[in-house]
Structure 1
């Protein structure tokens, strides 16, 4: 641990602990009518309970929510600087994201944490800035040409990068980390889509942009999960430790983005425009008001970096949990393989969009994996005005209103008594995939902030899953247990702690 970090931690804990000893005040015992909540102490609020359960934070929250009458609870933060209401009730989620959407914004909590990395990008903005970017992105994401470009890029990355990498590992009986492979694959893919540039990460390339981006995401994740936020804010002010490294990493990201934007401007002037997202945003009529200066470059940089963040970690995380669930449920894997084989016929699967669309069981299995292990397990909003949720809970102005997709998946009131089981059949009706209500399944968010790339994400995940399942089988998960999920590590996304280390072999049959 860095010396300055240790100093700030000791400083932050000494005063509250002395106050506890001085007052010797114990939390009041709960009555039978009280909703469960973490133990709260003078000054430090629920910090002790948070530190005690940090390794199983989402399960801890899920346990408490499941015991409340409406799957909603209230807590106070460190030094009681803020109040938080957390819910796993679909009616409340609909209220936050649609019915009273203007009252619940991203706010300073996320914007301050991610400001250097995402700037005013679509995933970090509110109000007019968000609405403007959403309008442009919505138009571009609904064009047939972009969908074709996405489909082509994914197929190319799979056939030229992913499959050869897995074949090499299978032939040599090498143990590989699926999570790392999918992370590198997703990075290459999303950079092609966003910038029209191929970082060749899966082939072992190690560029400054890749390292800087990963380091910036890691440090921002630590910020978001810090129980005492003023520590990282003080380190930022003093330019110490992680905050100094973040500043350097952001400088490298900005330099790379600036070079790419300049190159696209030159190509556009020579009528050699590309199909990537950056080129599309640059040529959009909606961007005419941005002019040609620094404001325009910052706008383009922010929105593209946002899409890289969303496309890289969310997809790789989802695929990692999906393949562990298949390994733990071989019956489901057999059904998916039968569906893929039928589509492939005598030849090899060519991953055309229409063929992927007809794979209903695969779609259901991926959705079920997303339900149990959502890439973004918990989302937070800042309340502008006093409000009352549909379940009767009061939310004060300035409170944080969180909804937990991870917990929702484990609520019997939401998904039934088999909510903890991996059962793709819950998504099917007569063999056809039936989508769940978006507020019951807010994995891609919902309402006005519903993910624009949802369809493209499914295309990518289905294409990867189909190619891997058709060509390979997991012979061994190192240290794995079919009856107990691997531990997770909380960051901006729900990563599998330590990765998913597997030994593959080429599939010859499914016996």
Structure 2
């Protein structure tokens, strides 16, 4: 029996090595056929076991995309990195990113993204390719028309509760050298504003934080209290597991099937049950022609969406996809802005001066148009997105044999061959920090670099915070408007901002599907000068 087992192991090993040798031969043949240069290959051990270890190590140590620096220094801006037996090409070259997202768009798909994320997000705009994606985009585009993203009235109501939370934190923790975590408040705020925009009813997570029901914004649309309070936790944990599935590429199935099966299924069920409640409510309103809901003066995403589709699963999945974007992008962006401004009081004072000059001390002058015209505010937003893009690493998979413009040969200036099925990971985090485009101070937070008088005009594919090409983010203006409004109102209200975090950079990253600070953003804020 042992001899038979040994023979089987030897036969399988021989077959595997023969297949690998043949694949290598075919790859080299096509590299020459397409006139491409050789790619640098990272040494990741037999069958890429070191690659799996590296992925798990980054997740454990919370180094996030900053961990790529060691590989970039060792292998260059484009290289092959095996995660298990699967080779992944990693690049930060703008020309390669442009090719995948725009000029060679049809040569690439989302690869394993659907299988990695669909258990949580379903068939939505962020998970689908082809006709499904085209349909989703057509369905959602009207919801982000200018007249909708310019509605700021509902944001002010949530801002007032956010301000109450900041004041509460300062009363209770103002004398504590650790301060309070404003990132936590930003995530609660954006969940509240996003659920009101989507469902017409905020989950009131900031109200729960205040522990003051008297400031509740509504009846939560009748949703069960336990489901309302449990949704945020389930959504966070499901995203973390989805992120791990994505980073394992073709081995995504291990998470949710072999490990973490029960919690992943539980989180997804709780998320979908919560959103299904609102989808059913919208469908009922349409069926009963309840015009008080369908044609309300207040814009509500799901009541507009239900005019276009009556499929309850489609409604749920699209709302989940937009909720992910609406909550996480704005909260992360606000958090990184405060993380950097708190470390440089002069920058905060300069921004406050610009805000007060353009808007005064009240919200009346803050509009969709005026936010875009406040130059220094725009510089701060751009710089935060440059250093801390909300989605720092993304990827595509080749749908046919093709090429990318750069990365081959000794100096990585030649085209590279991309076989069908090959995954290419691209890191805008490092593109945004490349000294070739941003100078030797590329890792410093300098809003003034965006002033056209400094020569930085017409940014191209080296700056890509909202993706590019046909899949460019539909909600870009929505996110910038919300962040600009909240930031302006906070700066109007609080004269002084100081950090309570003096740890050296880079920070620890919570890099799930989006990226925020792992340890929170610990600050103190004063309405007057610090006493």
C-alpha separation between the residues in 1 aligned to 2:474 and 2:254? 35
Deviations 1:393-444 (A, max 9, x none): 221211111111111122112322221111111211149995632x222210
1:104 alignment counterpart: 108
Q: 1:312 to 1:346 in 2, by over 3 A?
A: closer
* Pairing partner for 1:436 from 454, 459, 462: 459
Q: CA deviation at 1:371?
A: 0.9
Give the direction of change, closer, same or farther, for the CA distance of 1:251–1:423 in structure 2 (3 Å limit).
closer
Question: Secondary structure, in 3 states, of the residue corresponding to 1:198?
Answer: coil
Answer yes or no: is the 8 Å Cα contact 2:501–2:521 preserved in 1. no
CA distance 1:342–1:432, change in 2 (3 Å): farther
Could you tell me which residue of structure 1 aligns to residue 301 of structure 2? Answer: 277
Deviation at 1:39, TM superposition (A): 3.0
Deviation per residue, 1:83-130 (Å, 9 max, x gap): 2111111111110000111221123x2212221221111111111111
Corresponding residue of 1:212: 231
Deviation at 1:225, TM superposition (A): 1.7
Q: Distance in 1 between matches of 2:362 and 2:279?
A: 44
What is the aligned partner in structure 1 of residue 399 from structure 2?
A: 384
1:137-148 alignment runs, 5 A limit: 137-144=140-147, 146-148=148-150
Distance in 1 between the 2:43 and 2:349 partners? 43
Matched residue SS, 2:513: coil
User: What SS class does the counterpart of residue 405 from structure 2 fall into?
Assistant: coil
Contact residue 122 and residue 306 of structure 1 kept, 8 A = yes
Q: So what's the TM-score if we normalise by structure 2?
A: 0.79
Query: For residues 272 and 316 of structure 2, what CA distance do their matches in structure 1 show?
Result: 12
Find the partner of 1:461 among 466, 483, 495.
483
Gap change, CA 1:508 and 1:129, over 3 Å in 2: same
- Alignment of structure 1 residues 253-272 onto 2, 5 Å: 253-265=274-286, 268-270=289-291, 272=293
Structure 2: unaligned runs, 5 residues or longer: 1-8, 14-37, 210-224, 407-414
Aligned length: 461
Q: Which runs of 4+ in 1 moved over 6 A?
A: none
RMSD: 2.9
The corresponding residue for 1:25 is none
Helix, strand or coil at the partner of 1:125 = coil
Determine helix, strand or coil for the equivalent of 2:45.
coil
Give, in whole Å, the separation in 2 of the partners of 1:365 and 1:167.
Answer: 25
The alpha-carbon distance between structure 1 residues 157 and 436, as it changes in their structure 2 partners (threshold 3 A), is farther
**1:37 CA displacement:** 2.6
Residue 66 of structure 1 deviates from its aligned partner by 5.0
Which of these residues, 65, 71, 95, is aligned with residue 72 of structure 2? 65
**Counterpart in the other structure of 1:27:** none
How far did 1:448 drift?
A: 0.5
C-alpha distance in structure 2 between counterparts of 1:196 and 1:267, whole Å? 18
Return the match for 1:188 from 185, 188, 192. 192
SS at match of 2:523: strand
Compute the displacement of 1:180 (Å).
Answer: 0.8
Query: What is the CA–CA distance in structure 1 between the aligned matches of 2:71 and 2:416, rounded to whole Å?
Result: 16
1:243 offset after TM fit, Å? Answer: 2.8
Q: Given the alignment, which residue of 125, 128, 133 partners 2:128?
A: 125
Inter-CA distance 342–60: structure 2 relative to 1 (3 Å threshold): same
Number of the residue aligned with 1:322: 337
Q: 1:285-296 residue pairs with structure 2 within 5 A? A: 287=308, 290=309, 292=310, 296=311
Report the more deviating stretch, 250-259 or 462-471.
250-259
Counterparts in 2 of 1:303 and 1:508: CA distance versus 1, 3 Å: same
In the alignment, the residues of structure 1 paired with residue 141 and residue 242 of structure 2 have an alpha-carbon distance, to the nearest angstrom, of 30
CA distance in 1: counterparts of 2:141 and 2:361, whole angstroms: 39
Tell which deviates more after alignment, 169-178 or 192-201: 169-178
CA-to-aligned-CA distance 1:307-365 (integer Å, 9 cap, x gap): 00111011111111110111122222121111011123475664222332221111111
1:243 is matched with 264
SS in 2 for 1:495: strand
Match of residue 403, structure 1, among 415, 423, 426: 426
Quick check: 366-375 or 239-248, which moved more?
239-248
CA contact (8 A) 1:50 1:57 kept: no
Given the alignment of the two structures, is residue 114 of structure 1 paired with residue 120 of structure 2, yes or no? no
> Which residues of 2 match residues 328-407 of structure 1 at below 5 A?
328-345=343-360, 350-391=365-406, 392-407=415-430
- How many angstroms apart in 1 are the aligned matches of 2:500 and 2:169? 15
Whether the aligned pair in 1 keeps the contact of 2:362 and 2:492 (CA below 8 Å) is: no
- Give the counterpart of 1:493 among 471, 489, 514: 514
The TM-score, its normalising length taken from structure 1, stands at 0.82
Relative distance call for 1:346 and 1:114 in structure 2 (3 A) is closer
What secondary structure does 2:306 align onto?
Answer: helix
Say if 2:153 is the partner of 1:152. Answer: yes
Q: Give 3-state SS (helix, strand or coil) of 1:204's partner.
A: helix
Q: Does the C-alpha gap of structure 1 residues 216 and 335 become closer, same or farther in structure 2, counting only changes over 3 Å?
A: closer
User: Once structures 1 and 2 are overlaid, which stretch shifts more, 210-219 or 192-201?
Assistant: 210-219
Instruction: Give the aligned partner of residue 163 of structure 2.
Output: 163
